[in-house]
Chain A
């Protein structure tokens, strides 16, 4: 694992996000370092997903500053980010390979490499790349894993995952957690929002507890979070 002196990949400084009069983020100060796996915890409405979407560049901050991979311009860092949301972000009518080929094109993967990269990404989440069924006919767990494959397709430096284990069986969730730890060990930063932190015990480097739009606690063990 990388040491805590490594480069900050994400720096949030007084980050505020307002939706009308509702403040989803109320001055979040946080930094995420390279080669570490972070778990963000908190009740519904605490601002976890909004924080993840703001880091991903899908939500614009209403105040404060956020730097991702050294860039304040969010477009500049997009090629280095892998994002998995709660919905699958996949086309239900297309197969897994068809979906991934399309997204590979968006990331500028060369046509000679495309099939290999897509197959590797699908195989890495223990799915069969030759599955002919459209994604809409997958089980929820398979869809989650295919969604993770899409997020990892561009070999990102920063992996942002929102509820990756929801509806995934225990064995698959454990395999996904091990895969994410392996990605962290390759020097990438992994930030996971989850209500199932037990899956990541032994893998996570730090647990962050959010409450009413703020990070209120950071601990290195799950037992310390939320205290």
Chain B
């Protein structure tokens, strides 16, 4: 069984389905756009204050917006019970999880690419630290959100109120990652401290939770 071929095929299938329906990306875009506009009306910070609060605002907005994509990921597998076709096939569970997580990474990264310039414009942000560090930080932070989100969206799949269940399961576990993302972003924007410690925390978080999710996903998939 070709692990990579199944991962690639599942990812391509999900991209095709999203391209045709645009369910997740449209909802995420509108949600984060609303958050940016409402925050900009609610707060009118100076440039210095913006640098201090923007890290928190931007990651909270992305976390909430990501929930939309994460719920959608498995909803399309439940329609017509297509997930059963995967479960009855000889394909291992891991490529399905990996493809879903990578797909969500792409969706949320696309959202970040659109929304970050808007945040910069609304909050007149200019990083005083090494701005390039925002790129690896964004990748690590987004992966931290989507890897656990994809896993817990699968866990909550068979629960009655799955759209409520996902944030209830995901948010408490995301706190260490969120603290790392916000502090690293603030450190880069203000240039006052080094973000290295927080980035190292995110790397450790990603490694631990990716491994745990990959190991446990088969049990979740086979659960009735």
- Closest residue of chain B to A77 (Cβ to Cβ) is B90
| Interface mask (A95-109 → B, CB under 8 Å = 1, otherwise 0) | 000100111011110
In the complex, A94→B15 CA distance in Å? 12
- Closest residue of chain A to B88 (Cβ to Cβ) is A83
In the complex, A87→B10 CA distance in Å? 20
In the complex, A150→B82 CA distance in Å? 11
A108 touches B2 (CB 8 A): yes
Tell me if A59 is interfacial: C-beta within 8 Å of chain B: yes
**Interchain CB contact (< 8 A) of A79 among B13, B81, B84, B90:** B90
In the complex, A103→B17 CA distance in Å? 15
B80 touches A89 (CB 8 A): yes
Enumerate chain B residues within 8 angstroms of A85, measured Cβ to Cβ.
81, 84
- Closest residue of chain A to B96 (Cβ to Cβ) is A106
In the complex, A102→B6 CA distance in Å? 9
Tell me if A81 is interfacial: C-beta within 8 Å of chain B: yes
A25 → chain B closest CB, angstroms: 13
Enumerate chain B residues within 8 angstroms of A43, measured Cβ to Cβ.
none
Once A and B bind, how many residue pairs between them come within 8 Å at the CB atom?
75
B79 → chain A closest CB, angstroms: 7
Q: How many residues of A contact B (CB 8 A)?
A: 30
A85 → chain B closest CB, angstroms: 6
Enumerate chain B residues within 8 angstroms of A87, measured Cβ to Cβ.
80-81
**Interchain CB contact (< 8 A) of A92 among B2, B80, B85, B89:** B80
Given A78-B89, A150-B85, CB of A105 within 8 Å of CB of B80: no
A105 touches B6 (CB 8 A): yes
A91 touches B82 (CB 8 A): yes
In the complex, A83→B82 CA distance in Å? 12
**Interchain CB contact (< 8 A) of B17 among A58, A75, A93:** A93
Tell me if B124 is interfacial: C-beta within 8 Å of chain A: no
**Interchain CB contact (< 8 A) of B80 among A91, A102, A107:** A91
Given A59-B224, A108-B1, CB of A94 within 8 Å of CB of B13: yes
B89 touches A91 (CB 8 A): no
A78 touches B13 (CB 8 A): no
Tell me if A57 is interfacial: C-beta within 8 Å of chain B: yes
Enumerate chain A residues within 8 angstroms of B88, measured Cβ to Cβ.
56-58, 78, 81, 83
In the complex, A59→B91 CA distance in Å? 17
B17 touches A107 (CB 8 A): no
- Can you sample 14 A-B contacts with CB below 8 Å? A78-B90, A79-B90, A81-B88, A83-B85, A89-B85, A90-B80, A90-B85, A93-B16, A94-B13, A105-B5, A106-B85, A106-B90, A108-B1, A108-B2
Instruction: List 7 A-B pairs, minimum CB-CB distance, nearest first.
Output: A105-B9, A89-B85, A79-B90, A106-B89, A106-B91, A78-B90, A87-B81
Query: In the complex, given contacts A90-B80, A106-B91, what are 7 additional A-B residue pairs having Cβ atoms less than 8 angstroms apart?
Result: A81-B88, A87-B81, A89-B80, A91-B13, A91-B79, A92-B79, A102-B9
Residue ranges of B at the interface with A (Cβ–Cβ < 8 Å):
1-2, 5-6, 9-10, 13, 16-17, 20-21, 76, 79-82, 84-91, 222, 224
